[in-house]
Chains A and B, each alone.
Chain A
């Protein structure tokens, strides 16, 4: 199937989608959907001729004949999928199987704050969805427009004023073998009202061997004094690909920590946009990429300092083995008059594989003079002397290498504030490096 055919299929699917909505087609929200579809039809899928997609081709992902509509609840046994949850602690759960909400596996809440689905919010909290839908995401991106056009299901989290989540929220999307090739387009809306806080973990997991393509969009609004932690674990099957776009708007005195762990999957593309709308806000953007044969990860971050006195700290680390490919594009924008901005960015890459490659483009655009902005970027190998030191003390080469790589990964993993997740990531990393340190973390 060609890229054009898939685009055509999506156009006709949109008409089917519209027909099933009945009376809803006259709403403002649907007007946005329809405009987005027109936009997507005009633009088409991005190709490597677009500057933003210069190093990442979607062609190998788009050649499959994906199913756009999803069939009802697939029975999954919790014991089979338990390992994908942080099961040692209690969490709120929003679980989707093949793109359909699974009430059986989920644990939602409406007590004090809302943790439920986007479709439920469309029915019950229309005022909130109308206020926030499509207000942060960058619709000029064709992939975002496509998601917006079909926006119907996803996670909805609304922390009311001053609310503090009693436990972390887990969002997991499963796809099963029976569902076949699937195009999944979740749409998340997360609103943190003044002074609230929440920890969120998101994950996409393919349980089958068929190609799965997820085109996800998250819009996140962090109001004054609120605090958000958002962790993403990408450790999917080598048949699964994801294009994720996350836009976060931060108001006065808000705090945001995001971390993405790209450890597995055919293609992982993460667009993360953070915009500061209020003074004295702070954002931490972290990423760890650990790839092997046939995997591709692309991180595009954009931090937009629109107002004075905001701080952003960015640290992306990558380790590339086999013929994997890593891309990093980090843009820091400091608008006129956004004085006293601090923006730091770091991107370190280690190439292990003969055929592995890294393309990186740290980008600063500064329009204010009283700022401190810097970026650093390295591409290299493990330090021979450090390796020699370890080996001279009797540590075998394989383990010595793993230890050094582990240390690099730990700089990112160590910043995760949720202990159980941190432990899990440590174990995952040790497994990827094929070593067992036999340590209790």
Chain B
């Protein structure tokens, strides 16, 4: 019980704010705000029209209520939809970045310098909705890879943006996707040309800094025929009393023979021990696979007060492959309703779902997934496994797998199990001199191994640490 107290009191490691002057739009949402965002970003007319249409669609929509979460609905007029760090000049090297900002990143544990030199990761950092820095751009450009902020892409590659934006996640898709389409401020854009294998991991780091702002970023990754890209995304937010809203949209296009690996480590502020504050994370992520293409989603979700997220794959082309690996940890009053959709349309399509939920404290974790095999998807194959681990009897674990099969040649397997950490396992560790605390970390890491092993090296280390921090002593 003592240890349980300790964890519930252990602070959010990333809870600090950085004093960076920021340029913030007035609170509220209306056509003028959208025009303001659009003009601040100097956007072309078609983009503004696209946003305004999305806004009109959004106004017609109702907030979804089917998810297994309860929260106070955000007041969309109390949010500022635009907040940019004021240093607006274009940066060429790291030296020109605001030193305060660099400190922030150092605290986050992502030293740009180090990452740049040691790991060769190209990072696009989004602080309060505005992309600050894209490293390694020149090197990538040599290969024809475009990796830049969404704003830049709208200016410099309008033909690509116009062709792909909103194609996998249409503006009419859901309430938050429509809202995002209307007010998104920035995000990352990535294009890998035909036959190119991206030599480094592309990475974005999101951070909500300004209070009372929502983060609406939009990510678009296009992998042209036979190309390969691995994309990382990490998120943190400072400690705040009120709930911040994060409603992102991620769209992936894997053309014939292409492969996209998309990894997320989400560590938004989860709220305090009483469930006060924390980020609302309502994200729409979806990818489309053409012939022989592959999309692999990997996520480690440890943060946010409320998470509502279903990275999905539309397996349109023949022989395409979709994968989903997820670890979702909830503690205190956190609520997570997450899972995936695998929609098999093409022949010989395959999908794998591995979802591991860990619930502690008074939290609720849900797995909600759909496996749909269309009537023309001959020989489709799916394997799903969703396990949950419960710590303490105040938490709840739920699974809602929907399996819809309309083809006789389909092979679908689904299994789920819920249990707690075995007392004999703990005893075994204790008996060999491993303290309970460490034994739990060991067992949990083993439990999540299937998922963690899918993460790129740099992230895997961070994810393991995050798991340990999130669950510190949650079994008494």
A residues adjacent to B (C-beta < 8 A): 51, 55, 336-337, 339, 349, 351-381
Contacts and interface: CB of A to CB of B under 8 A. Distances in A.
A365 B405 contact: no
A364 B390 contact: no
By CB atoms of chain B within 10 A, which of A336, A339, A367, A371 has the most?
A367
B115 to A, nearest CB: 39
Interface in B388-415: 388, 390-415
19 contacts: A51-B66, A336-B394, A357-B404, A357-B406, A358-B404, A360-B403, A361-B401, A362-B414, A363-B399, A363-B400, A367-B395, A370-B420, A374-B415, A374-B418, A376-B413, A377-B401, A378-B412, A379-B412, A380-B411
B416 interface: yes
A363 B405 CA distance: 17
B399 A362 contact: yes
A292 to B, nearest CB: 14
A343 to B, nearest CB: 9
A362 B397 CA distance: 14
B274 interface: no
B405 A358 contact: yes
B431 interface: no
A377 B413 contact: yes
Contacts of A381: 408-409, 411
A373 B392 CA distance: 16
Contact of B403 (A356, A358, A371): A358
B414 A366 contact: no
Contacts of B398: 363-366
A379 B373 CA distance: 11
B93 interface: no
B414 A378 contact: yes
Nearest to A365: B398
Contacts of B141: none
A361 B412 contact: no
Given A357-B406, A358-B403, A374-B415, A366 B420 contact: no
A376 to B, nearest CB: 4
A10 to B, nearest CB: 30
B64 to A, nearest CB: 13
Given A364-B397, A367-B395, A375 B402 contact: no
A367 B408 CA distance: 37
A39 B216 CA distance: 44
B1 to A, nearest CB: 15
A337 B396 CA distance: 11
Nearest to A54: B402
B417 interface: yes
A351 B420 contact: no
B70 interface: no
A361 B400 contact: yes
Nearest to B387: A374
B415 A377 contact: yes
